Amino acid sequence: MGEDPPRPADAPAGFDDADPYADADADLSTYPEWWRQNAEAFRDHDMRPYRPPQFADGTLVPELLWRLESELCVEITLRKYIGADADESWTLLVDDRPVAEFTRVRNEEGRSVYSMTGEAFERLVADAADR
């Protein structure tokens, strides 16, 4: 779990047959600045195309995280922990206080997907901010 999906062994670095930016209609300048920067950095390093992490319901992680930090005046951290048995878990921290544990998978298109919904994440952060 958490590893990149299999790719053809002879594929060049960064190859992705489902590249969301390869289409002539995909104008990178229409994406938010943070998205463009990541897409360009991934391309510059011959990585698979950038696809932002999302929650189980499709909510984009960066946008929700930044909105909540701004609205609630808190610092939100998603921290990965790998145990001695190689199992991995993720912890949501709000102002350096652990709030919840959850899992993350990498789906077939290479996107990180966290196991909770954006709404559940928002509730956890709001509750922690009130403490």
Predicted pLDDT at 28? 83
Given a cut of 60, is residue 4 above it in pLDDT?
no
User: How many angstroms from the chain centroid is the CA of residue 83?
Assistant: 21
Residue 118 CB neighbours (<10 A): 19
Is 3.50.30 the CATH number for 54-129? no
The residue among 45, 59, 51 whose CA lies nearest residue 26 is 51
The residue among 112, 113, 110 whose CA lies nearest residue 47 is 110
Q: pTM for this one?
A: 0.78
Q: Which of 27-31, 55-59, 77-81, 103-107 has the lowest mean pLDDT?
A: 27-31
The residue behind tokens 């196991």 is: 115
The residue among 80, 16, 116, 11 whose CA lies nearest residue 26 is 16
Q: What is the pLDDT of residues 41-90, one digit of tens each?
A: 988 888 888 899 999 999 999 999 999 999 999 999 999 988 777 777 89
> Rg for the chain (alpha carbons), in Å?
17
Predicted pLDDT at 1? 45
What whole-number percentage of the chain has pLDDT above 90? 54
All CATH 3.30.160 domain ranges in the chain, comma separated: 54-129
